[in-house]
Amino acid sequence: MPLPLLAWAAIGVTGLFGAGKTIGAIADNSKASDINERANDIVSSAKKRITTCKDASGESLKALGTKKASVLDGSIRGFLDTFSQIKNVDFRGTPGLEEFAKFRIDAQELKGLREMSDFAGSILGGTATGTVAGALTAFGAYSGVMALGTASTGAAISGLAGAAATNATLAFLGGGSLAAGGLGMAGGMAVLGGLVAAPALAVLGLFMGSSASKNLDNAYSNLSEAKKFREEMENAATLCNGIRRRSYMFERLLIRLDSLLHDANNGMRTAINTYGTDYRRFSDGAKKVTASAASLAKAVKTILDTPILTEDGKLTPESLTAANSVRAALPA
């Protein structure tokens, strides 16, 4: 028996509704796919950027640490060996050193320089067991006193071996072990932008019908997480770039001080060969070069004593102040 006309009409409407729903689902799934692709592109681009910035900042800290160690093992060691031979040193009234008046070195600071010089020599000579690169990075980031201090393990970083040194250095950069209230190894990696924990974007199996709207909601959620991740990585990149620039500033300053101190050391040796080791017998020129060498050594120590990073991984304002102060005292 043929179906009534209304029944055929009802079937037609239902078919159209089903087709419309299918078309809408296809459109939603297509849009979800596009949004997910965009989210993944954002995450991938952000990861590449922070990796580049992190690597550059890490290399800059390592380069600075290497320069610090080189200066300590070179011109500073030469200064200490030569200056220690001179007796009855009294810089009061030495003319022509007004620009270095704030950089006067005392016996305690000379002792500190000797300890740092020995530490630097052990790193460069390979006798400081452990990961040399990690030690140099920590030396670049922090002051010489902090590098000579103890890691969160309770042992000096320079005395740790292998993986232990790497772990201790990362904890050191992170402000200490988690047990001690610091950020731990994870914090140390975060300081250098090493934590690139990309958001776990939802893996979507695209289904037709009612699941399509859920797929679209998940895609928008993925995009939101990707944008949040990008913002976090941009902040980390800004920090890493700041570290790189500050490290370069310190390195260039140490290069200049190293050159000047090398010349002053030669001047002191000439004075000793000419006048002996009694400072009172030195000419005014010999006294000036000796006082200049001591002031340059103090300027180097000022740079070495000034950390670039705080314990929570932020740039220190005093590092910029110290660099400007030393730079202003140098001859044009």
Most confident of 109-113, 158-162, 316-320: 316-320
Give the domain extent around 269: 10-125+207-329
- Establish if 154 belongs to a structural domain: no
Q: SS in 3 state form for 152-221?
A: CCCCEHHHCCHHHHHHHHHHHHCCCCCCCCCCHHHHHHHHCCCCCCCCCCCCCCCCCCHHHHHHHHHHHH
H helices of the chain, in order, are 5-71, 77-83, 107-124, 132-141, 144-148, 162-173, 184-191, 210-275, 284-304, 317-329
Check pLDDT > 50 for residue 44.
yes
- Establish if 143 belongs to a structural domain: no
**What pLDDT score was predicted for residue 134?**
66
- Establish if 24 belongs to a structural domain: yes
**What pLDDT score was predicted for residue 281?**
93
User: What is the token pair recorded at 282?
Assistant: 């030195």
The DSSP symbol for 280 reads G
Check pLDDT > 60 for residue 149.
no
- Establish if 145 belongs to a structural domain: no
- Establish if 218 belongs to a structural domain: yes
Check pLDDT > 60 for residue 13.
no
- Establish if 3 belongs to a structural domain: no
Residue of 161, 162, 159, 137 whose CA lies nearest to 149: 159
Residue 103 — very low, low, confident or very high, per pLDDT cuts 50/70/90?
low
Only one residue has tokens 């990008």, namely: 230
Domain count, the chain: 1
pLDDT digits (tens, 9 = 90+) for 165-208: 445 455 555 544 444 444 444 555 555 555 556 666 665 554 44
- Establish if 179 belongs to a structural domain: no
**What residues form DSSP beta bridges with 87?**
278
pLDDT digits (tens, 9 = 90+) for 63-74: 888 898 889 889
Top pLDDT among 298 and 51 is at: 298
For the whole model, what pTM was predicted?
Answer: 0.73
Check pLDDT > 70 for residue 97.
no
- Establish if 176 belongs to a structural domain: no
